[in-house]
Amino acid sequence: MNPDHPGPTSRFAPFLALFFLAASAQAGDAAKAVGLAANLCASCHGEDGNSLVPAFPKLAGQQAVYLLRELKDYKSGKRSSEVMVPIVSSLNEEDLANLAAFYASQKATPGTVGDAGLLPLGKALYLKGNAKSGIPACDGCHEEGGGGDGKFPRVAGQNVDYALDQFRLYASGKRGNGTKVMQTIAERMTPEETKAVAEYMASLP
């Protein structure tokens, strides 16, 4: 190799270093968030992220990328919540990344199904959608088992009441940081379909 003409690796080394440094900063350290989670989050989301309060989301096993994005959106005001915004506003970027890593590392417990009679409809909608009303299948983004994939959240075992509330926010356009796709889907679903999908997601292990 000619020392006067460094190869591609040498030329891009500074940029690669910055990239990996940024990625490392975003990855978070779950161990550093134990205290924060216990003091700030446990009363609503449970000690390990498995919230027992139906109105609050279960965070255990959630996608870290998704969690970090949502936390940042609360902090910036892009996503609104009278409860979450005041809490997150006092945290820095490292705190948010650590919390995301903490909850992503926790083991999710099974969800609670309220109306088992709706599960067949919920399963059909989740896996196949409803072509007549233009509702796509949910598994395209959230995976067949509900685990999510990176930026798309885990929905398996999620609390039914929380899921229904999010559907309502999407349908009314009040989920400010939500995707246009989700708003369109929520607008097209009937109340029975929405409830059925929420019940089916709760049934996923």
Range of the domain at 136: 116-203
Count how many domains the chain has.
2
Cβ-count burial 99-114 (b if 16+ within 10 Å, e if not): bbbbbbbbebbebebe
Residue 10: Cβ-neighbour burial (10 angstroms; 0-12, 13-18, 19+): exposed
In a domain, 186, yes or no: yes
Residue 5 confidence class, pLDDT cut points 50, 70, 90: low
- Are 204 and 111 in contact by the 8 Å Cβ rule? The answer is yes
Residue 190 confidence class, pLDDT cut points 50, 70, 90: very high
Average pLDDT over every residue of 182-191: 98
What pLDDT is attached to residue 6? 52
Could you read off the pLDDT of 94-152 as tens digits, one per residue?
999 999 999 999 999 999 999 999 999 999 999 999 999 999 999 999 999 999 998 89
In a domain, 162, yes or no: yes
Same domain as 123, residue 98: no
Same domain as 93, residue 160: no
Same domain as 125, residue 157: yes
Same domain as 100, residue 124: no
Q: Tell me, what CATH number does 177's domain have?
A: 1.10.760.10
Average pLDDT over every residue of 174-184: 93
Within 8 A by CB and 6+ apart from 198, the residues are: 122, 158, 160, 163, 164, 167
What pLDDT is attached to residue 150? 84
Same domain as 77, residue 128: no
Same domain as 88, residue 123: no
In a domain, 21, yes or no: no
How much is the pTM? 0.87
Average pLDDT over every residue of 58-87: 97
Could you read off the pLDDT of 22-59 as tens digits, one per residue?
444 468 999 999 999 999 999 999 999 999 999 999 99
